[in-house]
Each structure stands twice: as C-alpha cells, then as structure tokens.
Amino acid sequence: MSSSGASPRCARPLRRVVAGLCIAVLVAAGLAPVDPASAQSGGSGVVVIANGWSAPDAGVAAPLAGRLDGVMLYASTESLGSATVSALGKLVPSRVVLVGGAAALSAEVEAEVKSLLPGATVERLSGADRYDTAARAASVELAVPQNRPVILANGWSPSDVGTAAPLAARLGGSVLYAARDVLGAPAAEALEQFAPSQVIIVGGTGALSGDIDTALAELLPDVPTQRFAGTDRIDTAARAALYGNAPTGRPVVIADGWSTPDVGVAAPLAAALGGSALFSYEGAHESLSHALDQLVPSEVVLVGNSVLTDGLAEDLGRLPLDTPQTRITGADRIEIASEAALLAHSRILLSRYDIQSDPAEDRSKVLRLAATRINGELLDVSEFAGRDVLVWFWSPF
C-alpha cells in the first residue's frame, strides 16, 4: 500500500503527491498505451521478476529493469504470490524476464506467468552461479556499448549489492559480482567483451581486496577504476548517491539499509523516478543527513515497513514543507515490490508520453490529457462510461 504524507515527528499535515506524477491509465478496446513494437502481444513494457529472498538475484534484476525501461517484481520459489499476480494483470507486459534458475524461480512460477500472460514473451536469465547470472545480465544491458559503467560488488555481501544496484540503475550501467580475492571468469569475460567506460568497486578491501584492483588494472589498463568504501553501508550508499552529477532537485528513494528486499525494491524505483537511493538507519546518521541536504529532493519515497526511523524522521522534518512524501508498505516483501512497481510504471508512462500535470488539475482534466498523449486524440471522459477502465491514483487529490 502506498500513502502520502509526513511522519508524525515532522508535525506536518498530510500532503498530496503531484497527481500527474502518479497516474497511469489503462483502457480496454484500443485505449491501452501499447508501443508499436509490442502491439502484437497486446501488452506494453517489460517486467523483471526475481526471488524476493535472493539478494544476488534482486541485485541483478534491479539495474536490468532500469536498463530495459521496465519494473521489477518479487516472487517466491514456488509461487508468484497474489500481489505479483495482481500487478501483472495491471501492467500487462509484453516481455517478462525471470532472473535466476529453477532453484530460485521454479518451473511452476514460469508456467504461472505464461498462463497469466499468454501473449507475452517469457524468458529466463540464469547462469551456473550468481557470478555467471550477473554477467549474463550485463551482456543484455551492455549489448550496445554506449560508454556505460560497470559496478563491481562482492556477490555475497547484500549491503554492497544493495548499494551497487541503484547506482548502476541511475548511471545506466550494470552490476557484476566478484569474490573477495578473485575477479572470476564470468566478470572478467564480460568486462573484456564490453569495455566499460569505468569500473566502480563498491565496498572496502574487506569485501573486495586489493587483488581485485590488480586484476582490473591488468585486464583493462585504459579503463579508470574507482572505489566507494564508506564507514558503513549507510555512508557507502550516500557516497554512491552523490557520485558524479548526482541529480539534485529529483526524487530520492529511501529504504531500510538492513532490509535486503526493500533495498532491492528501491533501486529500480529510483531509476524510474530519475532519482537516487539512500539507506536509513535506526538512529540519526550524519551521512544520510548530508546526502539529503546535498540532493535537495523534489520528493521522497519511503520503501518498506521499517524504513521510517526516528533519525530519518528528524532529517525529513528539515526538508521544505512542500516536499511530497510517499510511503510504500505492504503485508510482505512481494506486496511492497508490487506497489513500488506500479508507481514506477506510472512514471515511465508519463515520461514516455510526455504527460505533464499540475496538482490543481482535477481528475477529468488529467484523464483527458493522458488520453490525448496516448492516443493522439482528445477523448471526453464521458466516453469512458461502460468501458473497462483502470485508473491508478497514488494519493488523494
């Protein structure tokens, strides 16, 4: 469930999330926003599904979804789950990518997807292990070299994977995994094949030792390498969020840094919103406060049931009073991922069809505007009567 408003500690009234930023319109009988390339399947967009209990698979799926201009959903090994089934019915994707082998997402899950979406292309991206799976995802993301970076993380460190995924999604790059002291053949082959613009190592030498730096220098002598190593995972994530031309005045997505599934959800959502991802902590944290001050967020999206700590509430209380805040919660990680995916999809549609809106516009005007951009003609809202129309409003207005 997504909701909007300030935390109790902030002592602010409930605020509306900008209507035009949080609406998607799907209309049956030819009004669905279908890309020409996917018109044959009757759907639109890409959905990447990962096991919500597998940090390395979620770490691969998050930047992949961002690179494919899609969204990410979670499933368990044996079932999609009711929330994911519901989200797929609303998203109606033309392409679904399952990340991980049958041990992560079983054949039953794949069959369930195909039954729900008979017109969609369903494919599986998996390797011999987490290193190979990450390399195979990179081959999809970096297939057309466009001066893209590669983010390298220890595949056994959920916090570093959680930092690498949103950074890769924001920079349009890819995540590769290595062991502490060994780069490994899958990562080395991917790096050599696609010659990235730079390699960013996430984590200190306790996570990826100096042997990794040496291996990269020998493999790619002309490619610059940089390392992000903070005092802890909150600081490392903050450094990553501020890296390069960090987008100021853009949305910021915040997740509990110790909740691996929520961190995985935050990455593709931040990419869809065109912003950055940060981690929260149980108490006040100087790095998080500094990052929020520097990023000057246009809005804040809080992901998960445990994200809003006292320290974060104090930080949010220092933001301008008109900064919208949205909270995404759910009964479990699958429901939280589904809610985030629907929000991300609405933003992708608005960007794709160049839909602009103002909070003061009423629902009818926004619906007409969406119909105009999607179908090239102005439709009166009364024409929707009696049709199968689904409208997602993410906050009261």
141 Cβ partners below 8 Å, 6+ apart? 63, 64, 67, 148, 173, 174
Residue 239's pLDDT is what?
93
> Does 382 score more than 50 pLDDT?
no
Residue, of 52 and 144, whose pLDDT is higher: 52
Residue, of 363 and 327, whose pLDDT is higher: 327
- What would the pLDDT profile of 11-61 be if each residue is shown by its tens digit? 333 333 333 333 333 333 233 333 333 333 334 589 999 999 998 999 889
Q: Which domains does the chain have, with CATH numbers?
A: 1-33+247-397 (3.40.50.12090)
Residue 372's pLDDT is what?
44
> Does 376 score more than 80 pLDDT?
no
Using CA atoms, how far apart are residues 263 and 245, in angstroms rounded to an integer? 22
Residue 169's pLDDT is what?
80
pTM of the entire structure? 0.79
- Predicted confidence band of residue 386 (pLDDT cuts 50, 70, 90): very low
> Does 361 score more than 50 pLDDT?
no
- What would the pLDDT profile of 228-243 be if each residue is shown by its tens digit? 999 999 999 999 999 8
348 Cβ partners below 8 Å, 6+ apart? 45, 69, 70, 71, 272
Q: What does pLDDT average to over the chain?
A: 79
Using CA atoms, how far apart are residues 348 and 361, in angstroms rounded to an integer? 20
- What would the pLDDT profile of 161-199 be if each residue is shown by its tens digit? 888 888 888 888 889 999 999 999 999 999 998 889 999
> Does 8 score more than 70 pLDDT?
no
What proportion of the chain, given as a percentage, has pLDDT over 90? 53
Residue 117 tokens read as: 């979406």
What proportion of the chain, given as a percentage, has pLDDT over 70? 75
Residue 356's pLDDT is what?
55
Residue 208's pLDDT is what?
97
Residue 389's pLDDT is what?
36
Nearest one of 174, 52, 66, 185 to 109, comparing CA atoms: 52
φ, ψ of residue 199 to 5 degrees: the values are -120, 125
Looking at this protein, which amino acid is placed at residue 235?
D
Question: For 196-205, 242-251, 263-272, which range has the lowest pLDDT when averaged over its residues?
Answer: 242-251
* Residue whose structure tokens are 């445990």: 306
Residue 188's pLDDT is what?
96
Positive or negative torsion for Cα 266, 228, 239, 232: positive
In angstroms, what CA-CA distances link 296 with 170, 240, 241, 273?
Answer: 17, 16, 12, 15
Residue 269 tokens read as: 């959502």
In the sheet where 252-256 sits, what is the strand order? 2-4, 325-328, 300-303, 252-256, 276-280
Using CA atoms, how far apart are residues 256 and 158, in angstroms rounded to an integer? 12
Residue 170's pLDDT is what?
81
- What would the pLDDT profile of 49-90 be if each residue is shown by its tens digit? 999 999 899 988 988 888 788 999 999 999 999 999 999 999
128 Cβ partners below 8 Å, 6+ apart? none
Strand partners, 50: 74
Residue, of 208 and 145, whose pLDDT is higher: 208
Question: For 61-65, 115-119, 152-156, 186-190, which range has the lowest pLDDT when averaged over its residues?
Answer: 61-65
Residue 101 tokens read as: 């082998």
Residue 44's pLDDT is what?
54
φ, ψ of residue 45 to 5 degrees: the values are 85, 180
Residue 185 tokens read as: 């053949």
Using CA atoms, how far apart are residues 171 and 67, in angstroms rounded to an integer? 9
Using CA atoms, how far apart are residues 17 and 251, in angstroms rounded to an integer? 12
189 Cβ partners below 8 Å, 6+ apart? 135
In angstroms, what CA-CA distances link 122 with 73, 161, 362?
Answer: 14, 26, 38
